[in-house]
């Protein structure tokens, strides 16, 4: 079983739609959770950290469910510029400053 699993997609949605991605992680001892965004052939960039209480940044909302070991990302009012691959990331339990990346969920926002 992969340590971090994501639906690869693609999720194909119209502009203005709300879309949600989930991600599951295998190690209950993981402490830190993140969503990174990666544009085609570009480097990953941090989108947002995910906190236990949930957090919001503009149109983006991240949630953590420790009991079920999943993380979610909700994007409201999708823009064309949101088209990218979204990487779910958790820290490694053998070294907190190592990150384990999911293989990503691809989002396509169409006009």
Partner 1 sequence: DADVTQTPRNRITKTGKRIMLECSQTKGHDRMYWYRQDPGLGLRLIYYSFDVKDINKGEISDGYSVSRQAQAKFSLSLESAIPNQTALYFCATSDLTASVSTDTQYFGPGTRLTVL
Q: Which residues bind partner 1 (CB under 8 A)?
A: 4, 8, 31-32, 34, 41-46, 49, 51, 87, 91, 95-99, 101-104
Strands 99-101 and 70-75: unpaired
Strands 55-57 and 45-50: unpaired
Closer to partner 1 at the Cβ: 74 or 100? 100
Closer to partner 1 at the Cβ: 69 or 103? 103
| Tokens found for residue 36 | 């990174």
Closer to partner 1 at the Cβ: 6 or 78? 6
Separation between Cα atoms, residue 43 and residue 76, nearest integer Å: 24
**Cβ 46 to partner 1 shortest distance, Å:** 5
């Amino acid at each position: 079983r992969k340590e971090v699993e994501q639906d690869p997609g693609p999720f194909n949605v119209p502009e203005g739609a709300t879309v949600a991605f989930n991600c599951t992680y295998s190690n209950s001892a993981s402490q830190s959770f993140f969503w990174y965004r990666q544009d085609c052939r570009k480097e990953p960039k941090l989108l947002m950290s995910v906190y236990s209480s949930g957090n919001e940044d503009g149109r983006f909302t991240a949630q953590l469910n420790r009991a079920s070991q999943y993380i979610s990302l909700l994007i409201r009012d999708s823009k064309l510029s949101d088209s990218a691959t979204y990487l779910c990331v958790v820290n490694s339990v053998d070294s907190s400053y190592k990150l384990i990346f999911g293989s990503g969920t691809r989002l396509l926002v169409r006009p």
